[in-house]
Amino acid sequence: MATTSGEIIGRAQKAAALFKKIDQAKTDRIVRAIYLSMMDNRVRLAKMAVEESGLGVWQHKVIKNVIASQLVYEDIKNRKTAGIISENQFSGIIELAQPIGPILALIPVISPTATTIFKILISMKTRNPVIISSSAMVKNCVAETARACYEAALKIGAPEHCIQWLTKPNPLKTKELMSHHGLSLILATGTGELVKASYSSGTPTIGVGSGNVPAYIGSSADIPFAVQSILMSKTFDNGSICASEQAVVVKKETAPPVIAEFKRQKAHFLSAEEIEKVSSIAYDKEQGTMKTGVVGQSVQRIAELAGIKVAADTSVLIARLDQVSREQPLSSEILAPILAFYVEDTFESAIERCAEIARFGGVGHTAVIYSNSPERIEYFSEAIDVARLLVNTPSTHGALGGMFNTLTPSFTLSCGSGGKNGTTDNISTSHLLNIHRICRRRVNERWKSVSDSKYLDDSLTGEEMEREFNKNT
């Protein structure tokens, strides 16, 4: 592939000019070919990702690849993204979809192949050339994913260089691309530092926020179901998805059966001494961030690093805490099979604790409630500033969408103003289009009924003008 930023952008711009000439039918054939190729390669690419990064579980990465290909394809395949996409007979407005131009797609270490598949599919569906940039830690599996997508697209007649990738990615090259005047958009998924650099580049950016996801188990909940759901989510790919639960909150009277159920399902509750040991290897107090050494690691590996002993079949590590702060590091986002656990006196104090957890590094992201009380669910939804409020749903799978609800399947979860993002959406094709509107001259009859001269009469009050405007309707 090209080696200089100018070369890469130049090739993408040429591809963009050719892409604009491709109609909806051919666009859809290109997208389908990529989807089928990724389904063919779902296992191979998942194994490559784990072997190269040392993070996660390859079987779970297969599932992520399927979500990113099949579920995303099924969601976008019938969308209109080229030419006329709507005609409003009442307003007379016709909407045209136009591509936005070259996109830089930043790929995180935790979901390298799935995120690459996802961003390529939505970029191709909207006829936007895409440039893939990842961490050097996953460069080979990302490059192989992009290459397979590109070859599938070329066979259907996609423009040359519609998909490019950095074979030797590095932060300097990525920053050069970010600020290049020929780039139209950055799709930023990754560390907070990387997302912040994207927003500071001068190029329009769609970013994500961090997730510190609280899960409240209420007194009306089915406790075995709630615990099973949380464990399914938190152990998925070793807890490496930012939408995974970070803390469980219960009321005092609900705590004993919840704790007993977690233990029955093989959770290990850490002692005070063990909490200190796990905290020291999981969180950097000076930086205020999780340590990368535990991200996506198994319980057994984390226990080994921390110097503690757990049963071989332990599902997660749970730390009972009473504060949300840097002084209790496991109250923060840790992308590993580690959960904080809080016991509160009342429902109101429990929900305030959930809100506090979300504020501590997860504003705008996701929160979960296990309850069968509509009133409690409504209270929860109004109290917590998150974009995704999941009810009786595993957080990882629920936030990604398409499996346990009808949220848009996505591997870019924006968090709104609280997370310093421009939207609260699960990002998809609608965010990668310029919509042009054809508006024919149609004079509003109510406007015609009012003489312009009346507006020049400063003796008429606002209410008098309103009556004058409305009387001829």
Q: What is the CATH number of the domain that holds 168?
A: 3.40.605.10
* β-bridge pairing 289-290 and 283-284: antiparallel
Residues 230 and 175 in one domain: no
Lowest mean pLDDT, pick from 121-125, 289-293, 338-342:
289-293
Residues 234 and 250 in one domain: yes
The count of structural domains within the chain is 2
Average pLDDT of 416-443? 92
In a domain, 461, yes or no: no
What band does 193 get if pLDDT is binned at 50, 70 and 90?
confident
pLDDT at 1 over 60: no
Backbone phi, psi, residue 210, to 5°: -75, 160
Burial of 222 (0-12, 13-18, 19+ CB in 10 A): middle
Q: H helices within 54-111, ranges in order?
A: 58-66, 72-76
pLDDT at 332 over 90: yes
Query: Which of these, 71, 72, 42, lies nearest to 59 by C-alpha position?
Result: 42
Let me know how long the chain is: 473
Instruction: Return d(Cα 220, Cα 242) in angstroms, integer.
Output: 27
Q: H helices within 297-421, ranges in order?
A: 299-306, 347-359, 374-383, 395-400
pLDDT above 90 coverage of the chain, percent = 87
In a domain, 421, yes or no: no
What is the predicted pLDDT for the residue at 34?
98
What band does 448 get if pLDDT is binned at 50, 70 and 90?
low
Residues 151 and 255 in one domain: no
Instruction: Return d(Cα 359, Cα 413) in angstroms, integer.
Output: 17
3-state class (DSSP) for residue 42: helix
Mean pLDDT score across all residues of the chain: 94
What band does 451 get if pLDDT is binned at 50, 70 and 90?
low
In a domain, 459, yes or no: no
Residues 318 and 187 in one domain: no
Residues 245 and 115 in one domain: no
At which residue do the structure tokens 């606002």 appear?
Answer: 462
In a domain, 160, yes or no: yes
Report the Cα–Cα distance between both ends of the chain, in Å, rounded. Answer: 64
Residue 242 a catalytic site member: yes
Query: Which of these, 423, 425, 436, 435, lies nearest to 204 by C-alpha position?
Result: 423
* Contacts within 8 Å (CB) and 24+ apart, 256-265: 257/223, 258/217, 258/223, 258/226, 258/227, 259/341, 261/223, 261/224, 261/227, 262/227, 262/231, 262/318, 265/227, 265/228, 265/231, 265/315
pLDDT at 191 over 80: no
pLDDT at 473 over 70: no
Residues 137 and 200 in one domain: yes
Residues 146 and 247 in one domain: no
Query: Which of these, 391, 468, 343, 411, lies nearest to 188 by C-alpha position?
Result: 411
Residues 193 and 317 in one domain: no
- Interval 376-399: pLDDT, tens: 999 999 999 999 999 999 999 999
Average pLDDT of 99-108? 97
Instruction: Return d(Cα 68, Cα 400) in angstroms, integer.
Output: 10
Residues 107 and 217 in one domain: no
Written in H, E and C, the secondary structure of 157-206 is CCCCCCEEECCCCCHHHHHHHHCCCCCCEEEECCCHHHHHHHHCCCCCEE
pLDDT at 450 over 70: no
Catalytic residue among 141, 149, 162, 242: 242
Residues 172 and 237 in one domain: no
pLDDT at 420 over 70: yes
Q: The domain containing residue 384 runs over which residues?
A: 213-407
What band does 449 get if pLDDT is binned at 50, 70 and 90?
low
What is the predicted pLDDT for the residue at 260?
98
In a domain, 473, yes or no: no
In a domain, 414, yes or no: no
Beta-bridged to residue 290, according to DSSP, are 283
CB atoms within 10 A of CB 444: 7
Residues 239 and 199 in one domain: no
Integer Rg of the chain from CA:
25
In a domain, 418, yes or no: no
In a domain, 253, yes or no: yes
CATH of the domain at 256: 3.40.309.10
Residues 390 and 249 in one domain: yes
Question: Per DSSP, which regions of 28-141 are E strands?
Answer: 83-87, 93-99, 103-107, 130-134
pLDDT at 2 over 70: no
Average pLDDT of 281-299? 92
